[in-house]
């Protein structure tokens, strides 16, 4: 049992509250990724778990043991830093064995632990080198090896791949996934890269402004974001979001209207929770549609292309829609992003009619909470 429990953790820097009551429970052996925009508190949360930062309220437990006031080394955690943080004056094996040496272990077990970690990571030939003689990828492996040698209950990663080039990052991503399977260890991983989050995580924790927005499996978060923030944060290009108002209710659905352009002409089925605020006519709402949800459906939209990005396998179309003004997307204001699953030979200025289904729309109420998920991803 080496899970991780965070209960009501709050943290202030001076008067600024950077963690506003975090509750999080991470199961034994789970790979959890913390994501969020910069300044959301994800790194602070990781440092709180590591014990590098204290908390002002709340509790941190590792494997059921309260470690809130414990020193970092007593917590059973190991951390891999963004810029490796290898000791330049020690050899690779010196770096990897330092924690065990400080813990007073005998040289024999230390050597065995180093050799085991080096074997897992394929750095056995570099053990006598200094960090300065290694490449970025090798340094990162040594940093991971240093964490492995200590056989911690929880591994903490602070954006470990962001200093590597794109090709190496992809390789290390796969390797970290393999490592997680092999060690079967609890891992908490901070990143701002949503590809890393989507591909590596068992569960993703989306943070914003010191709060947990949503916790869930990657695809669950992608398809069933609880609010407008999560919907906009996951997915690249971002979800298109347009402002609308409720026109009238009809059964389980509402008809919506665009405030500036009049009737949009379709109905969106909504979930109205018992006791929850009903969507009344005249209430401002927002509609979201993912760029890849365009393709087929009963609704159409005429788009004038502004920028066309041909990525080979797919085409990204940034354009203005005559009947739709997006208030939030990766394109400039007022633009809609459409992802077409093929190569297109379009020029800027060309008009194109794209289809979509009302079933692929998300509806957010005035508080930004999702009231209707896309039924057709």
Partner 1 sequence: MNDRRFRATSLVLYGFVGLFSLIVLIPLAYMLVAAFKTRAEIFMKPLAPPSSLSFESFERAWGVGVGSFIANSLLVTFLSVVVIVVISGLAAYALTRLEGRGGRLVYLLIVAGFAIPVQAVLVPVFQTMSAAGLLNSRLALVMPYAAYGIPFTVILFYAFFLDFPRELEEAARLDGCNRFQTFTRVILPLSGPAIASAAIFQSVFIWNEFILALLMLTRPALKTLPVGILELQGEFTSDWPAVMAGLSLATLPLLVVFVLAQKYFVRSLAGLGK
Give the interface with partner 1 as residue ranges (CB under 8 A).
50-52, 71-73, 77-79, 81-83, 85-89, 98-99, 102-103, 146, 150
The CA-based dihedral angle spanning residues 295, 299, 300, 301, taken in that order and rounded to the nearest 10 degrees: -100
Comparing CB distances to partner 1, the nearer of 153 and 257 is 153
Comparing CB distances to partner 1, the nearer of 50 and 354 is 50
Please report how close the Cβ of residue 30 comes to partner 1 at its closest, in angstroms. Answer: 21
Please report how close the Cβ of residue 179 comes to partner 1 at its closest, in angstroms. Answer: 19
Comparing CB distances to partner 1, the nearer of 98 and 266 is 98
Please report how close the Cβ of residue 89 comes to partner 1 at its closest, in angstroms. Answer: 4
Comparing CB distances to partner 1, the nearer of 73 and 219 is 73
Please report how close the Cβ of residue 95 comes to partner 1 at its closest, in angstroms. Answer: 9
Please report how close the Cβ of residue 169 comes to partner 1 at its closest, in angstroms. Answer: 20
Comparing CB distances to partner 1, the nearer of 114 and 301 is 114
Assigned token pair, 169: 């990052």
Please report how close the Cβ of residue 17 comes to partner 1 at its closest, in angstroms. Answer: 18
**Three-state SS annotation for the chain:** CCCEEEEEEEEEECCEEEEEEEEEEECCCCEEEEECCCCCCHHHHHHHHHCCCCCCEEEEEECCEECCCCCHHHCCEEEECCCCCCCCCCCHHHHHHHHHHHCCCCHHHHHHHHHHHHHHHCCHHHCCCCHHHCCHHHHHHHHHHHHHHCCCCEEEEECCCCCCCHHHHHHHHHHHHHHHHHHCCEEEEECCCHHHHHHHCCEEEEEECCEEEEEECHHHHHHCCCEHHHHHHCCCCCCEEEEEEEEEEECCEEEEEECCCEEEEEEEECCCCCCCCCCCCCCEEEEEECHHHCCCCCEEEEEEEEEEEECCCCEEEEEEECCCCEEECCCCCCEEEEEECCCCCCCCCCEEEEEECHHHCEEECCCCEEEECCCCC
Please report how close the Cβ of residue 275 comes to partner 1 at its closest, in angstroms. Answer: 48
Please report how close the Cβ of residue 153 comes to partner 1 at its closest, in angstroms. Answer: 13
Comparing CB distances to partner 1, the nearer of 101 and 171 is 101
Comparing CB distances to partner 1, the nearer of 44 and 357 is 44
14 Cβ neighbours under 8 A, 6+ residues apart? none
């Amino acid at each position: 049992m080496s899970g991780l429990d965070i209960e009501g953790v709050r943290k202030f820097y001076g008067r600024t509250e950077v963690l506003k009551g975090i509750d999080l429970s991470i199961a034994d052996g789970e790979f959890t990724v913390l994501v969020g925009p910069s300044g959301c508190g994800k790194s602070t949360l990781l440092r709180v778990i590591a014990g590098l930062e204290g908390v002002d309220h709340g509790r941190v437990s590792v494997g059921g043991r309260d470690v809130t006031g414990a020193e970092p080394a007593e917590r059973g955690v190991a951390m891999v830093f963004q810029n490796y943080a290898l000791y330049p004056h020690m050899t690779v094996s010196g770096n990897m064995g330092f924690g065990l040496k400080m813990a007073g272990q005998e040289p024999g077990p230390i050597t065995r632990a180093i050799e085991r970690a080096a074997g897992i990571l394929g750095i056995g030939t570099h053990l006598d080198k200094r960090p300065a003689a290694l490449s970025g990828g090798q340094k990162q492996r040594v940093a991971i090896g240093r964490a492995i040698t200590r056989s911690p209950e929880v591994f903490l990663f602070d954006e470990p791949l962001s200093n590597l080039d794109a090709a190496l990052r992809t390789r290390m991503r796969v390797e970290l996934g393999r490592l997680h399977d092999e060690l079967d260890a609890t891992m908490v991983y901070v990143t701002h890269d949503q590809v890393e989050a989507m591909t590596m995580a068992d569960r993703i924790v989306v943070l914003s402004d010191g709060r947990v927005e949503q916790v869930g499996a990657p695809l669950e978060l992608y398809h069933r974001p609880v609010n407008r923030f999560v919907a906009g944060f996951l997915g690249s290009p971002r979800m298109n979001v347009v402002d609308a108002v409720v026109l009238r209710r009809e059964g389980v659905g509402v008809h919506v209207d665009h405030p500036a352009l009049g009737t949009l002409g379709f109905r969106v089925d909504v979930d109205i929770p018992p006791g929850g605020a009903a969507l009344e006519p005249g209430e401002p709402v927002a509609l979201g549609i993912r760029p890849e949800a365009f393709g087929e459906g009963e609704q159409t939209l005429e788009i004038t292309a502004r920028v066309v990005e041909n990525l080979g396998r797919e085409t990204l179309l940034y354009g203005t829609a005559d009947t739709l003004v997006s208030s939030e997307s990766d394109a400039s204001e007022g633009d809609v992003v459409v992802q077409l699953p093929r190569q297109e030979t379009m020029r800027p200025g060309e008009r194109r009619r794209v289809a979509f289904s009302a079933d692929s729309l998300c509806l957010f109420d005035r508080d930004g909470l999702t009231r209707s998920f896309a039924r057709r991803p």
